[in-house]
Amino acid sequence: MQRTEIAAYGEFGLIKHLTEKFKNENPSTIKGVGDDAAVLDYQNKKVLVTTDLLLEGIHFDLVYAPLMHLGYKAAVVNFSDIYAMNGQPKQITVSIGVSKRFSVEDLDQFYAGIQLACEKYGVDLIGGDTSASLTGLAISITCIGEGEEGKIVYRDGAKSTDLICVTGDLGSAYMGLQLLEREKIVFSGGAEVQPDFEGKDYILKRQLKPEARQDIVKLLHEKGIVPTAMMDISDGLSSELMHICSQSKVGCRIYEDKIPINYQAAVMAEELNMNIVTAALNGGEDYELLFTVSLEDYDKIVAVEGIAIVGHTTKPELGLQLVGREGEEIELRAQGWNSLS
């Protein structure tokens, strides 16, 4: 494979090379890449801003995350934060710090992933920064989105008698990660056996190429449902529930048998002697939505496919409870993934 050194381009040449394939599509993008700052026109819409810093060896492992998937995922996880506000992502900036280990072709792969995500979700690339790095790859993405007055959903709006809903299934991304870790030796070495991924495509995809729930935000809008509180599940259901409950000053009761689990993820957990419910509660990176809706919306919400009601909020003094399959009550603890510990 061809290898072009990054130094051959220079900073401005490189930015031009990496960004020229992107086309800006949103009317709110007045000026994208190429000046001191991008210019946006949000008219009467609110502006949503979220940002993520991803560092090699902490947030991703290039041994098993192909650069194109990494670019896709890095963009999508930021879109997910905007959907979690009940908004629509519209623009991103992408900054990268790269060591000499990376070639221009590597960065092309990474930006191809970014571009794929941008096209799928209707987001424009409007800026960024390109720099050398002494070690590894550093990625910083900021996403800007639009929200409508009165429709933006925060974490602190849950009332004490709301329904607690989650989208999709939980724990799959974590089980995908466990599988990749197990097969990593095969990946990295010159081993003759191929890694065994048969029948595991779903959990791998959940880990390596997650999607953000644009579809759910659209469905909620169509059904006339505005959640009382919402966030995306990036650190595990337990951790996110604690955020919503503490910010909304409510308690909660969720039911183990209502937590949506994918079959492949359950089989993988079985194989690895792990508990899939623990993975759903504490595993990260599912990028599903956790939200609360008023009891009055019950009829509307059960009619929406892909949403599970996992429990309800309570008065704050009742705490955060998980009700097990036998009816036993377990206090929820956040053991969410924490890159600092």
Give the interface segment with its own copies, choosing from 217-225, 227-235, 298-306, 319-327 (CB under 8 A).
227-235
- Residues 170 and 202: their CA atoms lie apart, in Å, by 12
Give DSSP secondary structure letters for 148-209: -TTT---SS---TT-EEEEES-SSHHHHHHHHHHHHHHHHHS--SSPP--TT-HHHHHHHHS
Within 10 angstroms of residue 315's Cβ, the number of other Cβ atoms is 11
Residue 58 near its own copies by CB under 8 A: yes
Binding its own copies (rule: CB under 8 A), the pick from 33, 65, 70, 82 is 82
The SS3 assignment for 83 reads helix
Q: Which residues, numbered 2-31, are part of the site for its own copies (CB under 8 A)? A: 6-7, 9-12, 14, 30-31
The separation between CA 139 and the C-alpha centre of its own chain, rounded to angstroms, equals 15
Interface segment toward its own copies; rule CB under 8 A; list 61-69, 135-143, 188-196, 258-266: 135-143
- Residue 56 or residue 297: which is nearer to its own copies going by CB? 56
Smallest separation, CB 164 to its own copies (Å): 17
Contacts of 44 (CB under 8 A, 6+ apart): 149
Q: Is 56 in the site for its own copies (CB under 8 A)?
A: yes
Token couple for 253: 């009761």
Q: Smallest distance from the beta carbon of 239 to its own copies, in angstroms?
A: 9
Q: What CA–CA distances, in Å, run from 328 to 259, 325, 331?
A: 16, 7, 10
Stretch touching its own copies by CB under 8 A, among 64-72, 140-148, 211-219, 301-309: 140-148
Q: Treating both helix axes as pointing N-terminal to C-terminal, what angle do 263-271 and 201-208 enclose, rounded to 10 degrees? A: 100
Interface pick for its own copies out of 4, 42, 62, 202 (rule CB under 8 A):
42
> Of 17, 76, 81, 264, which lies in the binding site for its own copies, with binding defined by CB under 8 A?
81
Contact between 104 and its own copies by CB under 8 A: the answer reads: no
- Is 130 or 313 the residue whose CB approaches its own copies more closely? 130
State which of positions 174-203 bind its own copies (CB under 8 A): none
